[in-house]
Amino acid sequence: MEGRWLDIFEILEEIGIPVAKWSWIEKEEELLKFLEENKEIVIKAISKDILHKSDVGAVKVGIGSPEEAVEVFRNFRKRFPGAKILAQEMIHGLELFLGAKKDPIFGWVISFGLGGIFVEVYKDVSMRLAPVDEGEAMRMMEEIKGGKILEGYRGIKVRKEEIARIISIFSKNLDRIGGKEIDINPLICNEKGCWAVDLRVLE
Ligand code: ADP
Ligand code: MG
């Protein structure tokens, strides 16, 4: 599972979907080096037994000091013995959801929405048969109820053309990623761009 997770991150990068900088951590020195290079980081415990990492406290965001990093690393090691530890650069921005499901008759159907509760609770998503071009992707973004947030809200700015580019590229490369269901959740966007920070693939 960990291997596949990484492979998919690599495929995403290859097809042109940026991925937050990441590194597997086995030793404290590796973690401290990664923190020094990235200033603010996130630490996650990755394992096939952990489906929703934040539900079990296996994600710690906004780590800026070596002391905290080491403490979280040791704590995760203890609490999640079989898991691999992943460090990621921290991305500040708006969280989006980009998913795909393979329908036995229609093929890939993609969905797009704002991340978190907007998808999970309000089901505020727009859907299309894949593939979509950038114009169609732009219409998907305008269709969701929370679409206005993408125009800029309380200091959050995102690049809509970049999001449309990513939706379109994703929709055209689903067979390369494989599986039956693929979720990038979240894709975090700010005025500089968008980065995938988490994935879920159903084989
Ligand atoms: P899971 O969905 O399994 O709980 P995620 O990797 O999606 O785990 O992390 C949970 C939440 O933590 C995300 O929805 C996001 O809010 C935050 N998060 C995770 N990784 C990052 C990151 N690299 N930068 C900023 N926030 C992050
Ligand atoms: Mg997630």
Per-residue pLDDT of the chain (203 residues; tens, 9 = 90+): 555 777 888 899 999 999 999 999 999 999 999 999 999 999 999 998 898 999 999 999 999 999 999 999 999 999 999 999 999 999 999 999 999 999 999 999 999 999 877 777 778 999 999 999 999 999 999 999 989 999 988 888 999 999 999 999 999 999 999 999 999 999 999 999 999 999 988 98
How many angstroms does the Cα of residue 185 sit away from the middle of ligand 2?
5
Nearest residue (CA) to ligand 1, atom 14: 186
How many angstroms does the Cα of residue 156 sit away from the middle of ligand 2?
20
Provide the terminal-to-terminal Cα distance of the chain, rounded to the nearest Å: 10
pLDDT of residue 122: 76
Q: Decide whether any atom of ligand 1 lies within 6 Å of the 54 Cβ.
A: yes
Q: Rounded to 5 degrees, what are φ and ψ at 100?
A: -150, 145
Angle ∠(200,19,75) on CA atoms, nearest 5: 65
pLDDT of residue 161: 97
How many angstroms does the Cα of residue 132 sit away from the middle of ligand 2?
24
pLDDT of residue 3: 59
Which of ligand 1's atoms lies nearest the C-alpha of 91?
A: 24
Which of ligand 1's atoms lies nearest the C-alpha of 195?
A: 23
Q: Decide whether any atom of ligand 1 lies within 6 Å of the 20 Cβ.
A: yes
How many angstroms does the Cα of residue 94 sit away from the middle of ligand 2?
14
- The pTM of this model reads 0.96
Where does 21-89 sit in CATH, by number? 3.30.1490.20
Where do the domains of the chain lie? 21-89, 94-202
Return the CATH fold of 94-202. Answer: D-amino Acid Aminotransferase; Chain A, domain 1 (3.30.470)
Maximum CA pair distance of the chain? 53
Nearest residue (CA) to ligand 1, atom 17: 61
pLDDT of residue 2: 59
Q: How many C-beta neighbours within 10 Å does residue 32 have?
A: 15
In angstroms, rounded to a whole number, what is the distance separating the alpha carbons of residues 135 and 53? 34
Closest CA to 161 of 195, 196, 135: 135
